[in-house]
Chains A and B, each alone.
Chain A
Amino acid sequence: MKHMTITHHLSDDLLMAYSAGALPEALSLVVATHVSMCPDCRAALAAHDAVGGAVLGTCGEAELAPDSLEKTLARIAATPTEAPPPKRDGSLPGPLADYVGGSLSQVKWRTLAGGVRQAVLPTDRGATARLLYIPGGVAVPDHSHRGVELTLVLQGAFRDETGRFGPGDIEVASDDLEHKPVAEPGPACICLAATEAPLRFAGLIPRLMQPLFRI
């Protein structure tokens, strides 16, 4: 994973929103996963966090409860040592691995039309995150979406009207982009995608299927 060349990065507003803690869980998951793969965005995030530090440093002081330190020490004494995180086999970046039981082989896929598979990940309601498996040469169903849509390539590559996206690349699509991603011929393209609101598919059949598959 260390040597991939990432050409599509996170936008400043997403980095800032993630740093400020303003993103719904599904979008945070995609941001954290991309940052786990991308030294540039990691450095940019560190800079945004430093702005948060500066804000904390200048927001004044509130009076503590008289026994605040004692209570904190008691909390420390009462906390058991943390359980080790679930075993990861390196097939997925850490934050994502934690959502699927540790590895790509644990993912519970559901098959959609055209050999496309997806797995919706458990997050809070503000947005939806899912893994997509798109066989080489196959198109993701035509869709538009409300709010921002993030698509992070984990394996393989796809192309759409805006360019080519390979491993580690993230596409940040606003709601006015009606795009048609197609997996490159060859090995399947596996992506982590998140949308702020449910996708709307352009065709009638996909729309009828939407409630069934939560896409």
Chain B
Amino acid sequence: MTAETEEAEWARLMLRIRDDRDADAFAALFREFAPRVKAFLMRSGSTATVAEECTQDVMATLWQKAGLFDPTRASVTTWVFTIARNRRIDTIRRARRPEPEDLAWGPEAEPEPAEILERQQETDRLGRAIAQLPPNQRALIERAYFGDLSHSEIAAETGLPLGTIKSRIRLALDRLRHQMT
């Protein structure tokens, strides 16, 4: 399976969890994502024991908050990232994480399958763009998202989402904007 069809398959599994509370779909996503979440948390500085606990928490949250998953707004990988990041703040930094509330979007249109596919593939394209960055730039982005950089360090690296990433973000932004207005 190519990476792009993989993301689309994960989105289908996620929708089965959201709409049908499908335990098999959950087990399948667990096998895909729990090892990544644990690796992510360990790269963020957690011990294996804490990372294991947190990973179980993150995956339980994925089940409990499945109703909030919207395949037109985020890929499954991105959605899992936001849950793992929030858990890292909660558990490891012991702080609260204020989250934006949903805006009123107007009448909900039935999402286009193409739109969903587009959104699901974005993460993969960004991943490839990051992989192509010079090693020092790539390391900076990774360190930021592993939680190793403070805000002032990020601010000092003006233009951190540099070059390729920046144009990728810009593209993603334009698509999102187009969808949301």
Q: Which residues of A contact B (CB under 8 A)?
A: 2, 11-14, 16-17, 19-25, 27-29, 31-33, 35-36, 39-40, 42-65, 68-69, 71-72, 75-76, 79, 82, 93-96, 98-99, 123-124, 126, 147-148, 196
Contacts and interface: CB of A to CB of B under 8 A. Distances in A.
What is the interface residue range for chain B against chain A?
35 or more
**4 tightest A-B contacts by CB?**
A94-B101, A53-B78, A61-B35, A54-B127
B167 to A, nearest CB: 11
Interface of B: 27, 30-31, 34-40, 42-43, 48, 51-52, 55-57, 59-60, 63-64, 73-75, 77-82, 84-86, 88-89, 95-101, 103-104, 122-124, 126-127, 129-131, 141-142, 144-147, 149-152, 154-155, 157-158, 160-161, 165, 169, 172-173, 176-177, 180-181
Contacts of A148: 151, 155
Contact of A16 (B43, B51, B161): B161
A53 B177 contact: no
A184 to B, nearest CB: 26
B155 A50 contact: no
B36 to A, nearest CB: 6
B89 A56 contact: no
Contacts of B169: 47-48, 50-51
Contacts of A27: 151
B78 A59 contact: no
B36 A52 contact: no
Given A47-B176, A50-B122, A61-B35, A55 B100 contact: no
Contacts of B147: 20-22
Contacts of B160: 12-13, 16
A22 B103 contact: no
A16 B140 CA distance: 12
Contact of B98 (A17, A25, A44, A58): A25
Given A21-B85, A25-B98, A72-B59, A54 B155 contact: no
Given A47-B172, A49-B74, A50-B126, 6 more contacts: A13-B160, A29-B98, A31-B98, A56-B37, A62-B38, A68-B56
A59 B41 CA distance: 10
A13 B52 contact: no
B42 A62 contact: yes
B74 A56 contact: no
13 contacts: A13-B158, A16-B144, A21-B88, A28-B98, A31-B98, A42-B180, A46-B74, A52-B81, A54-B130, A57-B123, A59-B40, A96-B98, A196-B151
B131 A58 contact: yes
B34 A69 contact: yes
